[in-house]
Amino acid sequence: MNKISTLLVAGSMVAFAAPAMAQDADSNFDGFRVQGVTGYDALQAGSSVDDDGVDNNDQSIDGVVYGVQAGYDFDLGGAVVGLEAELSDSTAKTEYTNGDFEGFGFGQVDAGRDLFLGARVGAKVAPDLLLYAKGGYTNAKLNILSNDGTTEYDQTFDLDGWRAGAGVEYAINPSTFMNVEYRYSNYSKGEVDLNGDLADGDRFDVDLDRHQIMAGVGVRF
């Protein structure tokens, strides 16, 4: 229900902002855009963690990522710069229900929602083809189900990190486009989400890497 509410709020903000944004009719890469995205999602421990010798631990989790993205681009001639936001979810989860996820003390792990806020810059290699790079802030959640032998814990970990990626966008026509991209995310700070019982000062260090290969189809207004 929380995921649905978040998507509705994001959609309402997009609808409110759209009338104030105008598109250059002569450009395929200018103005407000919104799109659906999906692709492959893989989450694993970073270089600071290694427990390959433990057979019943998941070394990584993967699945399908899906979500919505909105942004605004400025066509500067040969280059395009823009801002974007994305809200996504993933089917990635552990296979070992009684194991540990890469030595972090996680039990059964289910990837939750992922929020991205950032910018991109691109070069128009053709009137209908854009090569771009992107980067920004990402906040993700991991849903954790663990058991210490006496008590079962069902908690959410809130993770902060950064994301960088690159892709190619093709303008089918001035109002419709498709793109593919690769992006890498690293989460370095975590916090147990206990409905406000723990403050931001209780964050701890983590090292999680995320690799995603994405495809999307969208429209410009």
How many percent of the chain have pLDDT more than 90? 52
Query: Which residues are CB-neighbours of 151 under 8 A, at least 6 positions away?
Result: none
Q: Examine the pLDDT at 19 and tell me if it is beyond 60.
A: no
pLDDT at 119: 98
Span 14-36, average pLDDT: 66
Q: How many domains does the chain have?
A: 1
Determine the pLDDT at residue 28: 92
pLDDT at 124: 95
Average pLDDT on 13-27 reads 47
DSSP state at residue 201: G
Nearest CA-CA partner of 168 in 130, 133, 134:
130
Rounded mean pLDDT of 119-142?
A: 96
**Burial code of 34-70, b = ≥16 C-beta within 10 A, e = fewer?**
bbebebbbbbbbeeeeeeeeeeebbeebbbebebbbb
| Greater model confidence, 152 or 9 | 152
Q: What is the pTM of this model?
A: 0.78
pLDDT band at residue 1 using 50, 70 and 90 as cut-offs: very low
Q: What is the pLDDT of residue 10?
A: 47
Tell me how many degrees the CA angle 137-92-155 measures, rounded to the nearest 5.
Answer: 75
Number of Cβ atoms within 10 Å of the Cβ of 213: 15
Predicted local confidence at residue 155, as pLDDT: 75
Whole-number pLDDT of residue 212: 98
Better pLDDT: 149 or 27: 27
pLDDT, one tens digit per residue, over 141-195 is 988 776 655 666 677 888 999 999 999 999 999 999 999 999 999 998 888 776 5
Tokens of 121: 């810059």
CB 134 within 8 A of CB 84: yes
pLDDT at position 105: 58
Q: Domain of 159? A: 2-220
Direct distance between the N- and C-terminal alpha carbons of the chain, in angstroms, rounded to an integer: 29
The kind and range of the H/E element at 2 are helix 2-17
Find the CATH number of the domain harbouring 65: 2.40.160.20
Give dist(CA 70, CA 21) in Å, integer.
13
Instruction: Tell me the pLDDT of the chain averaged across its residues.
Output: 81
Average pLDDT over residues 28-36: 96
The model's confidence at residue 22, banded by pLDDT at 50, 70 and 90, is: very low
Q: Could you tell me the pLDDT band of residue 110, with boundaries at 50, 70 and 90?
A: confident
